[in-house]
Amino acid sequence: MASSSKRSWTAIILTTRTPKEADAVAQELATYQKKGYIAAETILLTIADPGAGVGSGGATINALLYTVEHICARRGCQVLSLDVLANSDILIIHHGRPYPFGCSSRAFTLLPRDVLSTGFSELPTNVLHLLDFVGEHLVSHFEHGVWVCSSDMLMRYDPKTETLLEPSATQRKHDACIITVSATPEYASRHGIVVRDHKGFPGFVSNILYAAPESEVRKHMIDNETVALVSGIVFLSASVSEQLLALLVSPALESCTYIGHDTGAQPTPVSLFFDILLAMCNQVTESDFMERSSIVSRADSIAAGVAGRETARKVRRLIWDNMRRFSLTAVHVPNVQHLYLSLDLCYREHELALGAFGGPNIAHSVLLLNHGDVSPKSRCINSYFSSRGPSASLGEVSLVNCYITPDLALEPPSAVCNVDTRMEYFGDQPLTLKTELCLQTFQVNLATKGLNSVHVPVVFGMTDVLMGKFSATTSTYCNIPWPDFMMSSQINETDLWPSSTGMKTLWNAKLFPVLTDSGEPTLDTLFWAFHPARQHRLRSGYPEVDKWRSSWRFSFDDIFKAIDVAAEFASRRALFNDVLGEILRQKLLHSEDFNFLPYFRSAAADGFAQQLLTVLDDVAPLSSHGVTARALALIADLLGSMAGGRGGLRSGPAANEAFAAAYRAFDNEDMVGGIALMAKERKKWIGRPDLLIRCARHYEGAAQICIRKAVASAKKFISVSRSETAEKPSGKHDTWWVAECPARIDLSGGWTDTPPICYEHGGLVINAALLINGKRPIGAKVRRTANFSVVLIGDNDSRLELLETSDLSDYCIPNAPGALLKTCLIFANVLDPQLPQSLSEQLQSKWGSGFEIVSWSNLPQGSGLGTSSILAAAVVAALWSALGMKFDNEAVVHAVLCVEQMLTTGGGWQDQVGGVFGGIKAASSAAKLPLQVQTEKLNITPENLEEFSSRIVLIYTGKPRLAKNLLQNVVRNWYAREESVVSTCTNLKSTAEKCRDSLQNWSFDNIRSCITEYYEQKKLMAAGTEPVSVRELIAALTPYISGHTLAGAGGGGFFFCLLKNPEDREEVEKLVPSVKGAHGSVVFGAAIDVSGMKLTTLPVTA
């Protein structure tokens, strides 16, 4: 029995019709691997079939031989060793025959699914869907072996859920196994079904029927409604695969491989299902097997009629003698729908198949409709559409890989694929496509004529059957009978089929100009497809008919023999990034949540990053500071994506002089000039990954300037006026103005107070003021001095005297000595480093004194209790008091917001709220500017507050919290609109609302639940913020606590929890030092401070 764990493919190989097609497909597979859709260690191969008559079995054997050779070489084997099959998982995908309703093949047909993402965005193709289906839902249930997969079908299933296999699938060792799905008898009668042995050997296949009459199919129902349809996916065990390769000793079978092709042998047709697998069916007799050879021509159209009858019989005899000893089983996958993509379909049936596949109608597309409506029957994949007219709408229209400007109008219902109206082939006149038509272009390689690829436009009706006989009365072109079309267009049968040999069909009608007298054909050479249509019969001599007749023309058959698959893939990727540019523009201008990071990585991988940089440069100065800041941050993300994980960490310094001029422009509100200067400088930093990362840091620095400008709007809510009793410049300087503040503990909603989240998404935080060991631990005091200088005294009595304005120049460098106090001096307008006056002159003229500022915190560094912001609040309050200003707590809260932006630490508003206002409160800001913080002290009884305090345990973990990089990463992810961050911000606010209600209604169980829920949300916002020692601490304390969080952003600092029973405090305090990894942990006393910041005065003593 196989392991159910996920396994990576050892090798993936796609078979193609031609070597050029193989090269193009190889590039696509390499791109998928680079973007993570295929494991990095998987060997990727492509190989062209050795001949047109090789058949599905021959193509499989050829691919298997080629793959085993490469695996042997990878593993260092000197000769071919079939032993490598024993521990390999190989996937063979047959690229299949031409398919005009997609990108040249069914394998790379775009599916109506949202853009895929593994960290890199990618358009969902059928081959990626099949890789997911087989790799994620089948392979782990089987032994090592070879999987063979057709790409001629769509497998409809929900990729987000586990596909349920039959229980027997994982309980049996398979020699060879056909994967079957459910289908109605009517559908199955056009395809193949398996007949199971329901008697002696359940699960084994007794026969395979192809295109059997519906009456015969109904004899083999697996339930009341369905039969077991051959899905096109087959598993071959290592032993079966080894035996297949052993058959190559026969020259007739060796002719199916590239080796036979290189020796000039004509390939012998072999069918996978009706030669190889049929020989393993347990109720097929030898005579039945040998007599059924004629079915190959029906089952595999290219696998018959090439070799002589005798050679074919010898091949079947060889297969029977060697493969009969193996058993064929069938595993049924009931929750999957099979949708066959056939040339016998008309386009409308193709659309119905895509519709049955499910998924969104609009995927990776931009529709600009001037307030018009989009029909629910429309389908748009990887397309841009701009309508004509002020109220134009998009009716029943299908757009795939299109860029449609108003120059092309579409009369619904209609379909357009691979058309770009910006290209020369569109021509210079507006066109209107007639109803019920499908318009496409294909890129055809004309190297044989000494020309490069040209775009060949084609048109056909939505109900036309491409393989329908011209002579059949039901056969149509452009939805009308052939005679009617010829009569109206003056195109005759000889024009379309110059040779009288062979069956005449739409598939081989030479309808489509490839070259005209003026070069590459334009769309209007298909004159019959566009309005204004002449209602009367066209007469010979009309110029459009003459132009068409004189052109060199191709049929569908000709087109697909010469199609430039590489160019088709390249144009689709280019269009993907063009559409992405439009999506980027629209989402930014409308401030919509959209995660661009996977798209940026994809654009960098595909070579389209510069195109997106140009879009961002264009959009950045067009709207508010919020749009500009986000655009700058996104440019930083894009530069980081271009670095490809190299070049160092994103967080780092951003003060290189080369960007100074741009920064000054932003500071002066010159957004256009700032963006232009940044773009000009950026060109010098594109060359190496390390330079890209350093440039990205400076773009984030520019975004921070925009944030600072937005936060500065909070000044509107800073109400400060001079007191009538303010000390005059000539007064005595004998007083200390003192501000003492509690610490704060956040209970819910943290991170939503952080700019720009707080004014783009809105913030709501529940926090509490805490006395630590019975005291307010943070404070500042200010006194006036007779000397016209400023003295700053900090922790450990460090002393710094400011004598010149140049001493203030490093105020915005957070780690500079006295940076916070310097910033407060500048903010409070005590000093202005931009004025020409000296520091002493400013102090003398404005204040008549110098100042001494003393600040302190009795908490460990990196506590997570809001120390730096609360200290700023204390300094500002003490300074304003010393200056004789009248203010309230709200003014202090908004002032600290501005101070921290000036300081470039960029904090939120909840810390100062927690340290300025007493008790437990709810603080909020609306999703708008100007930024206003509103604080509501929650109505909690003194008894309940006392109970809350009695349960608080506050433990310093011994590990300081490092918030700077955490904050940068969260802001970065917010601007990128990373999905988990956006959803977590919403959940943070929701939890804060629940916490507020629980506190006011005093539901203690709910309060504790909200705090723990909040802690889990903080860990989602910033990964890696729970040290191992904290996990050990939580595990040890779990019997005693309920409701816990690390203070602030996490990562260290203080651990806050609530006791289940206050009586357990002593037990917990004894337990903490013994916890593994908790060395250095200390339990602090903590209680709710109902008063908040305390302002007092003290006499100055000698």
Residues 6+ apart with CB under 8 A from 840: 788, 789, 803
Res 962: pLDDT: 56
DSSP secondary structure letters along 410-448: E-SSEEEES-BTTSGGG-SS-EEEPTTEEEEEEEE--GG
Q: Give the pLDDT confidence of 1016-1025 residue by residue, as tens digits.
A: 999 999 888 8
Q: Is the pLDDT of residue 3 over 70?
A: no
pLDDT above 90 as % of the chain: 69
Spatial CA neighbour of 1057 closest among 961, 957, 955? 955
CA-to-CA distance for 513 and 520, rounded, in angstroms?
9
- Find out whether 1044 and 1055 touch, Cβ atoms under 8 Å: yes
Cβ atoms within 10 Å, residue 494: 9
Res 388: pLDDT: 63
Res 137: pLDDT: 87
> What's the Cα-to-Cα distance from 652 to each of 637, 697, 941, 1003, 1080, rounded to whole Å?
14, 6, 47, 45, 30
CA-to-CA distance for 267 and 254, rounded, in angstroms?
8
Res 607: pLDDT: 94
> For the residues 228-245, what does the mean pLDDT come to?
95
pTM: predicted TM-score of the whole model, two decimal places = 0.88
Q: Is the pLDDT of residue 664 over 80?
A: yes
Give kind and range of the element (H or E) at residue 457. Answer: strand 454-461
Task: Specify the range with the lowest mean pLDDT, choosing from 84-88, 125-129, 386-390, 586-590.
Answer: 386-390
CA-to-CA distance for 1064 and 1059, rounded, in angstroms?
7
CA-to-CA distance for 739 and 727, rounded, in angstroms?
18
Res 967: pLDDT: 84
- Identify which has the larger pLDDT, 223 or 1: 223
For residue 238, what are its two tokens? 């290592």
Q: Give the pLDDT confidence of 1050-1060 residue by residue, as tens digits.
A: 778 899 999 99
- Find out whether 12 and 147 touch, Cβ atoms under 8 Å: no
**868: phi then psi, degrees, rounded to nearest 5:** -65, -40
CA-to-CA distance for 872 and 892, rounded, in angstroms?
9
Spatial CA neighbour of 675 closest among 615, 625, 612, 632? 632
**Secondary structure (3-state) at 735:** strand
- Identify which has the larger pLDDT, 948 or 136: 948
Res 296: pLDDT: 42
Task: Specify the range with the lowest mean pLDDT, choosing from 320-324, 812-816, 1087-1091.
Answer: 812-816
Res 1089: pLDDT: 97
Res 300: pLDDT: 39
Q: Is the pLDDT of residue 531 over 90?
A: no
CA-to-CA distance for 893 and 57, rounded, in angstroms?
76
Q: Which residue has the tokens 């249509």?
A: 533
> What's the Cα-to-Cα distance from 390 to each of 253, 370, 573, rounded to whole Å?
66, 5, 31
Residue type, 846: K
> What's the Cα-to-Cα distance from 392 to each of 28, 245, 411, 638, rounded to whole Å?
37, 61, 11, 35
**1044: phi then psi, degrees, rounded to nearest 5:** -150, 155
Q: Give the pLDDT confidence of 409-439 residue by residue, as tens digits.
A: 899 999 999 999 999 999 888 999 999 999 9
CA-to-CA distance for 851 and 853, rounded, in angstroms?
6
Spatial CA neighbour of 967 closest among 897, 904, 1031? 904
> For the residues 399-409, what does the mean pLDDT come to?
92
pLDDT above 70 as % of the chain: 93
Report the 3 state secondary structure along 111-165: CCCCCEECCCEECCEHHHHHHHHHHHHCHHHCCCEEEEEECCEEEECCCCCCCCC
Parallel, antiparallel or unpaired: strands 192-196 and 205-210: antiparallel
- Find out whether 490 and 543 touch, Cβ atoms under 8 Å: no
Residue type, 98: P
Spatial CA neighbour of 966 closest among 905, 912, 1029? 905
Q: Is the pLDDT of residue 535 over 60?
A: no
Q: Give the pLDDT confidence of 878-897 residue by residue, as tens digits.
A: 999 999 999 999 999 999 99
- Find out whether 328 and 277 touch, Cβ atoms under 8 Å: yes
**Secondary structure (3-state) at 1083:** strand
Kindly list the structural domains of the chain, giving each domain's residue range(s) and its CATH number in brackets, ordered by start.
11-340 (no CATH), 360-567 (no CATH), 591-704 (no CATH), 721-938 (3.30.230.10), 943-1088 (3.30.70.890)
> For the residues 456-480, what does the mean pLDDT come to?
93
Torsion of CA 396, 401, 404, 409, to 10 degrees: -30
Triad 759, 760, 763: Cα angle to 5°: 55
Give the pLDDT band of residue 71 (cuts 50, 70, 90).
very high
Res 299: pLDDT: 38
Res 254: pLDDT: 86
> For the residues 247-254, what does the mean pLDDT come to?
86
Residues 6+ apart with CB under 8 A from 1035: none
- Find out whether 63 and 15 touch, Cβ atoms under 8 Å: yes
Q: Give the pLDDT confidence of 814-829 residue by residue, as tens digits.
A: 889 999 999 999 999 9
Residues 6+ apart with CB under 8 A from 556: 98, 100, 458, 466, 506, 507, 508, 509, 512
Q: Give the pLDDT confidence of 673-727 residue by residue, as tens digits.
A: 999 999 999 999 998 999 999 999 999 999 999 999 999 999 999 999 987 655 5
Task: Specify the range with the lowest mean pLDDT, choosing from 145-154, 343-352, 528-537, 1091-1100.
Answer: 528-537
Spatial CA neighbour of 631 closest among 693, 712, 707? 707
Report the 3 state secondary structure along 1007-1071: HHHHHHHHHHHHHHHCCCCCCHHHHHHHHHHCCCEEEEEECCCCCCCEEEEEECCHHHHHHHHHH
- Find out whether 161 and 170 touch, Cβ atoms under 8 Å: no
> For the residues 834-848, what does the mean pLDDT come to?
95
Cβ atoms within 10 Å, residue 413: 19
Orientation angle between helical segments 597-606 and 625-643, nearest 10 degrees? 50
> For the residues 53-78, what does the mean pLDDT come to?
91
Of 202-206, 353-357, 729-733, 954-958, highest mean pLDDT: 954-958
Res 584: pLDDT: 94
- Find out whether 401 and 440 touch, Cβ atoms under 8 Å: no
Res 170: pLDDT: 63
CA-to-CA distance for 111 and 816, rounded, in angstroms?
57
Give the pLDDT band of residue 159 (cuts 50, 70, 90).
low
> For the residues 365-385, what does the mean pLDDT come to?
84
Residue type, 703: A
Cβ atoms within 10 Å, residue 501: 6
CA-to-CA distance for 249 and 922, rounded, in angstroms?
82
Res 718: pLDDT: 96
Res 633: pLDDT: 96
Q: Across the chain, what does the average pLDDT equal?
A: 89
Orientation angle between helical segments 565-589 and 597-606, nearest 10 degrees? 150
**Sign of the C-alpha dihedral computed for residues 896, 898, 902 and 907 taken in this order:** positive
CA-to-CA distance for 354 and 154, rounded, in angstroms?
9
> For the residues 531-551, what does the mean pLDDT come to?
67
